[in-house]
A and B are shown apart, each in its own frame.
Chain A
């Protein structure tokens, strides 16, 4: 009591407010307040629903109450004090409400506004005229501020910057955008404190360094709020009946009845949009009672529909929502009582995050039900739970030095006040991503935005950024600057076709490759409805509701997750346990029959062994490798291994892979033993060999699509008025080709190649896997038939083929399959 009497008023006010609601600050909140009041920056590691918003907003208020002479008086010129950066618009709305509540109740005369992509024009103008005291915004909208003249004045009073869901931004180019924005703000208002809020990830320390720039002396504060988490795996009544392959998992649908009907609200996660469509339909067929209480949510649906679903979950008016990763993030869904995961989540972090969508109320337990879709996923489930028990959690790797985002940023600053290169470079280099920015890269970016490229290369009509007599770099052309502001950001939408009802009404988007398979009159499943395809006109697919309920399910490319490194380690351990006849959980018991069969027909590799199976069928010679390193890594490895074998003797392979291993299939016996002797798994010349073994330029082209859009080479047009820019339109593929041909040292092209190497092929992980294989004993078995491990790889649809032929030869070969005669006249 004594203490309380002598407490400074700014603390008392806050504690009184807590007391008035019968709350008590958590110890971690008190800790962060003290650090904050001392002027420190850092990272708060806290899950959603743990009071993280108050943990960081309250000290900003305390600081204001402490330092302002007359804090309760309305006064002009206080300017912006708190900047709250959030990755999601939906989250911005929630945050605004939370901050409003405490601010108003404490009678602090602060204005709180939100500036995101969907803020109304009038509010935008109001903010432009006069900054509120608290601004909630996205990384993209922050950059829009920076593209305006005199933006430094707007931020000069800023003393608190909070970046919410930092783990989500980290490891994406939006994170880089955030870093660059902060590098500018740190320069404008050096005293501002920066705090990030992050869920648990494996590299929290690095997350802090990326946020604050290095070196820094920020701290990490962990909210010691352990949420209880229950994992249940759904097992079939007869465990021997588990299929060895498959990915839909519908066969277990009846087992979900009690779970769904006994909980007030359930989220069901699938791994792909197509799977979500199928499950939604199957649930409706199996439990007709759910009609009207169930909804579908995925990234290709109309955003109004998605918003409606999110609101309905929030309000607790839906019994079941079938969703993809589109609901991984976002607003607080307190009414959700339990979560069902269909198929492997492929990573510990994702599983924990999804589980955390339930049991949001303080003290509640998060419940997640795992529905395996085939026998190996039982092992995966057991491994997942072991990893969780050991607190293994994946890392999020940040981008290093992406020049596309840097190019965009340089243009952004040039569009506003302009810059002097040395000054701007100094600012940029305080960020983690660009801490090692080389002079060559920097000069290339400067040259790229001012002259277009090397002087000899003829860019006579080029104009973007010009240098005035003073040496200031500015964007003077109004049209170009307007166009730039419209393209700020790093989110690149997939080129997709809109789906509309012929009677009007927007449904969502599908991919062109899917529609290409349909004929008018065909029926397909989309947005939980059977639709009849009528026609395609100007990038819009016209449909009507179909009376039939059979047809194709919409499919979307990409988005396949691969097994995380942590999880693959745990899986290898589980397989070793099975070899030693240890089956310690329900899941392993259920998988026992499959594992024992594998052992009988071939082998179960120990942790220090890698298994290779080689056998012949009518299809040809099969060789299966099981490094358990994840699908994408296997894709790269398979090409590499195939290429290396083909260097010994001419041979072509077709390839297939999943998360556990890959298959090489050929019509002649591959010299496997000889290849291993000659160093099949060597790490020497790895990069060169990878480059020779895959069609690198096709992969790079795919990455260039995003890079070109971010660096401002492809302009998608102003909303609703594309026509005036028609002559500036070009596909990124075409640009990639001409730049590669006519601007040989274009660093955005090299960036595409290195992104393809690092992210698509993940050269690092391939290298690590090879090193690991080299430390292992290799066992080769010759099973008499397809083993349980081999079977799912064989049925995998994805088949690629190693090809080193010249284009014309490839064309001829493809043509042969079209069965027509060649007639080439030579001159």
Chain B
């Protein structure tokens, strides 16, 4: 696991190759679009994809926690893929085990479980626009808040991927962090998530290749 350090509004953010951000000053681990439970949803629909993915994704999160020792974890939406299934129990058991960490969910369009389930779990359900100065955390990258330039937003939703091409028709699309003057979009954390190819305009792009983060 490696990372790239960037400084924004005098805050140190580590863009980690496990597709998460560590915010040094606040000891926060930030991740988005985990889509836990997606394998189970597929199983219910008659498509056998193993729930091992969820176990594995939780292990990755565990490793992030043990490496960076955050006191809080922010999930920027799409924490759980769809309706309740067996994997919800796996997730809430896991949250219980990690008592030393505060988990906050800034809800996204996939977070459609009944409120009680969130309340029964160790998750703190936050507003869709969650502010922790100097940042605004949301699921959807929101454009209108940016106009006055005073707010810096950190979000997910898009599952950004960036295509690189080399000599001889080599092409590869990799998950990436998209950094602009007033926003960061995170890559999707979940293994069972796809990529949405983005076109670069003025952004800084940091792709995740194997266990490295590389600015391109």
Taking a contact as CB atoms under 8 Å apart, the answer to whether A728 and B45 are in contact is yes
CA of A361 to CA of B164, assembled, Å? 56
Report the minimal beta-carbon distance from B26 to chain A, rounded to whole angstroms.
Answer: 19
Taking a contact as CB atoms under 8 Å apart, the answer to whether B168 and A460 are in contact is no
Which residues in chain A, 780-827, are within 8 Å of chain B measured between CB atoms? 798-801, 803, 806-808, 810-815, 817-818, 820, 822-827
A815-B216, A825-B4 known; A801 vs B46 contact (CB < 8 Å): no
> Does A735 sit within 8 A of B, measured CB to CB?
yes
Taking a contact as CB atoms under 8 Å apart, the answer to whether A738 and B192 are in contact is yes
Taking a contact as CB atoms under 8 Å apart, the answer to whether B3 and A827 are in contact is yes
The total of chain A residues at the interface (CB under 8 A) is 57
Taking a contact as CB atoms under 8 Å apart, the answer to whether B48 and A459 are in contact is yes
> Does B207 sit within 8 A of A, measured CB to CB?
yes
B residues near A654, Cβ cutoff 8 Å: 167-168
Taking a contact as CB atoms under 8 Å apart, the answer to whether A738 and B49 are in contact is yes
- Of B38, B42, B46, B52, the residue contacting A483 (CB under 8 A) is B46
Report the minimal beta-carbon distance from A714 to chain B, rounded to whole angstroms.
Answer: 8
B residues near A820, Cβ cutoff 8 Å: 215-216
CA of A655 to CA of B49, assembled, Å? 38
- Of A484, A741, A811, A825, the residue contacting B5 (CB under 8 A) is A825
Q: Which chain A residue has the least Cβ–Cβ distance from B84?
A: A461
Q: Which chain A residue has the least Cβ–Cβ distance from B164?
A: A814
CA of A480 to CA of B49, assembled, Å? 16
Which residues in chain B, 179-216, are within 8 Å of chain A measured between CB atoms? 191-194, 207, 209-216
- Of A480, A742, A825, the residue contacting B2 (CB under 8 A) is A825
Taking a contact as CB atoms under 8 Å apart, the answer to whether A712 and B51 are in contact is no
Report the minimal beta-carbon distance from A522 to chain B, rounded to whole angstroms.
Answer: 16
A458-B55, A808-B212 known; A452 vs B48 contact (CB < 8 Å): yes
Taking a contact as CB atoms under 8 Å apart, the answer to whether A827 and B2 are in contact is yes
CA of A734 to CA of B41, assembled, Å? 15
A residues near B82, Cβ cutoff 8 Å: 727
> Does B170 sit within 8 A of A, measured CB to CB?
yes
B residues near A741, Cβ cutoff 8 Å: 191
A808-B214, A815-B164 known; A461 vs B85 contact (CB < 8 Å): yes
Taking a contact as CB atoms under 8 Å apart, the answer to whether A806 and B167 are in contact is no
> Does B98 sit within 8 A of A, measured CB to CB?
no
A460-B43, A463-B43 known; A817 vs B215 contact (CB < 8 Å): no
B residues near A739, Cβ cutoff 8 Å: 49
Which residues in chain A, 715-735, are within 8 Å of chain B measured between CB atoms? 715, 725, 727-728, 730-731, 733-735
> Does A506 sit within 8 A of B, measured CB to CB?
no
Report the minimal beta-carbon distance from A298 to chain B, rounded to whole angstroms.
Answer: 25
Which residues in chain B, 80-139, are within 8 Å of chain A measured between CB atoms? 81-82, 85-87, 110
- Of A461, A800, A817, the residue contacting B169 (CB under 8 A) is A800
- Of A713, A798, A806, A811, the residue contacting B214 (CB under 8 A) is A811
CA of A818 to CA of B205, assembled, Å? 12
> Does B8 sit within 8 A of A, measured CB to CB?
no
Which residues in chain A, 471-489, are within 8 Å of chain B measured between CB atoms? 477, 480, 483-484
Taking a contact as CB atoms under 8 Å apart, the answer to whether A457 and B50 are in contact is yes
CA of A448 to CA of B49, assembled, Å? 10
Report the minimal beta-carbon distance from B114 to chain A, rounded to whole angstroms.
Answer: 16
Taking a contact as CB atoms under 8 Å apart, the answer to whether A811 and B164 are in contact is yes
Q: Which chain A residue has the least Cβ–Cβ distance from B56?
A: A742
Taking a contact as CB atoms under 8 Å apart, the answer to whether B48 and A462 are in contact is yes
CA of A814 to CA of B194, assembled, Å? 22
CA of A601 to CA of B19, assembled, Å? 58
A824-B214, A825-B3 known; A463 vs B44 contact (CB < 8 Å): yes
A residues near B167, Cβ cutoff 8 Å: 654, 801, 817
CA of A551 to CA of B82, assembled, Å? 46
Residue picked from A461, A812, A817, most chain B C-beta under 10 Å: A461
> Does A581 sit within 8 A of B, measured CB to CB?
no
Taking a contact as CB atoms under 8 Å apart, the answer to whether A457 and B166 are in contact is no
Taking a contact as CB atoms under 8 Å apart, the answer to whether B46 and A712 are in contact is yes
Q: Which chain A residue has the least Cβ–Cβ distance from B16?
A: A827
Report the minimal beta-carbon distance from B45 to chain A, rounded to whole angstroms.
Answer: 4
Taking a contact as CB atoms under 8 Å apart, the answer to whether A453 and B165 are in contact is no
Report the minimal beta-carbon distance from B20 to chain A, rounded to whole angstroms.
Answer: 13
Taking a contact as CB atoms under 8 Å apart, the answer to whether A811 and B172 are in contact is yes
Taking a contact as CB atoms under 8 Å apart, the answer to whether B41 and A727 are in contact is yes
Taking a contact as CB atoms under 8 Å apart, the answer to whether A824 and B4 are in contact is yes
> Does B24 sit within 8 A of A, measured CB to CB?
no
Taking a contact as CB atoms under 8 Å apart, the answer to whether A727 and B81 are in contact is yes
Binary contact readout B7-44 vs A (1 if CB under 8 angstroms, 0 otherwise): 00000000000000000000000000000001111111
Taking a contact as CB atoms under 8 Å apart, the answer to whether B209 and A459 are in contact is no
CA of A827 to CA of B52, assembled, Å? 29
Binary contact readout A688-722 vs B (1 if CB under 8 angstroms, 0 otherwise): 00000000000000000000000011010000000
CA of A238 to CA of B181, assembled, Å? 65
B residues near A826, Cβ cutoff 8 Å: 2
Report the minimal beta-carbon distance from A707 to chain B, rounded to whole angstroms.
Answer: 13
Binary contact readout B155-172 vs A (1 if CB under 8 angstroms, 0 otherwise): 000000000111111101
Residue picked from B5, B86, B166, B207, most chain A C-beta under 10 Å: B166
CA of A800 to CA of B121, assembled, Å? 52
> Does A285 sit within 8 A of B, measured CB to CB?
no
CA of A826 to CA of B216, assembled, Å? 17
B residues near A824, Cβ cutoff 8 Å: 2, 4, 212-214
CA of A713 to CA of B49, assembled, Å? 9
Q: Which chain A residue has the least Cβ–Cβ distance from B54?
A: A458
CA of A743 to CA of B138, assembled, Å? 35
Report the minimal beta-carbon distance from B158 to chain A, rounded to whole angstroms.
Answer: 16
Taking a contact as CB atoms under 8 Å apart, the answer to whether B4 and A823 are in contact is yes
CA of A451 to CA of B81, assembled, Å? 22
B residues near A823, Cβ cutoff 8 Å: 4, 215
Which residues in chain B, 49-72, are within 8 Å of chain A measured between CB atoms? 49-53, 55-56
A residues near B40, Cβ cutoff 8 Å: 460-461
Report the minimal beta-carbon distance from B109 to chain A, rounded to whole angstroms.
Answer: 10
> Does A464 sit within 8 A of B, measured CB to CB?
yes
B residues near A458, Cβ cutoff 8 Å: 50-52, 55
> Does B1 sit within 8 A of A, measured CB to CB?
yes
CA of A824 to CA of B209, assembled, Å? 12
Taking a contact as CB atoms under 8 Å apart, the answer to whether B168 and A463 are in contact is no
B residues near A815, Cβ cutoff 8 Å: 164, 214, 216
Report the minimal beta-carbon distance from A746 to chain B, rounded to whole angstroms.
Answer: 9
Taking a contact as CB atoms under 8 Å apart, the answer to whether B47 and A712 are in contact is yes
CA of A462 to CA of B210, assembled, Å? 31
Given contacts A458-B55, A800-B168, A808-B212, 4 further A-B contacts (CB under 8 A): A728-B42, A742-B56, A806-B210, A812-B214
Report B's interface with A, CB cutoff 8 A.
1-5, 38-53, 55-56, 81-82, 85-87, 110, 164-170, 172, 174, 191-194, 207, 209-216
19 residue pairs A–B, Cβ–Cβ below 8 Å: A457-B52, A459-B48, A460-B40, A460-B51, A462-B44, A463-B44, A483-B46, A728-B42, A728-B45, A734-B192, A742-B49, A803-B168, A810-B166, A810-B170, A811-B172, A815-B216, A820-B215, A823-B215, A825-B4
7 A-B pairs closest in CB distance: A801-B168, A452-B48, A814-B166, A462-B43, A464-B46, A461-B43, A458-B51
Report A's interface with B, CB cutoff 8 A.
448, 451-453, 457-464, 477, 480, 483-484, 654-655, 712-713, 715, 725, 727-728, 730-731, 733-735, 738-739, 741-743, 798-801, 803, 806-808, 810-815, 817-818, 820, 822-827
